[in-house]
Amino acid sequence: MNVESLKGGFVESRTGHPHEAVDILAPRNTPVHAVTDGTIAKLFVSRAGGLTIYQFDRDGRLCYYYAHLERYATGLHDGAAIHEGQVIGYVGTSGNAPKNTPHLHFAVFQLDERKRWWEGRAIDPYQVFKSRS
């Protein structure tokens, strides 16, 4: 992943709310790879995000959110251990994504001690991955 491609998307505005994520444009069915080792916390379908994945890092401090997927990787399930680089899904336009603009909506959330993926504090993916490089 080109870290510089993540810059700026987090602060973009959406209808009535901050984006708090980055959109990574890619052709439909492009494989989506896990950004780090961890566990699938939840596979979820929502009106806004469509087919989504919530992945916890190894330590349970960060949650990675992958949305607008076309489909999940075969065999992926809640609680599955995954490894950095493993294909976990495929880029699509599910949820409220424009049907002619396949992309991965990618967010990072800092978790508290309760580990509730739906209550994490959004942090800029660019800052997270820039500090790793």
Q: According to the model, what pLDDT value does residue 119 have?
A: 83
Residue 22's pLDDT is what?
A: 86
Residue 97 lies in a domain: yes
- pLDDT > 80? residue 9: no
- 18-54 pLDDT, tens digit per residue, is 668 888 899 999 999 999 999 999 999 999 999 999 9
> How many C-alpha atoms does 110 have within 13 Å on its Cβ side?
6
Do residues 43 and 62 lie in contact, with contact meaning Cβ atoms separated by under 8 Å?
no
Domains contained in the chain, number: 1
Residue 1 is assigned to a structural domain of this protein:
no
Range of the domain at 35: 9-130
Looking at the predicted structure, is the pLDDT value of residue 12 above 70? no
pTM score, whole prediction = 0.88
Within-domain flag for 87 = yes
Q: What is the mean pLDDT of the chain?
A: 87
The CA–CA distances, whole Å, from 83 to 8, 46, 78, 80, 99 equal 27, 25, 14, 10, 30
CATH of the domain at 25: 2.70.70.10
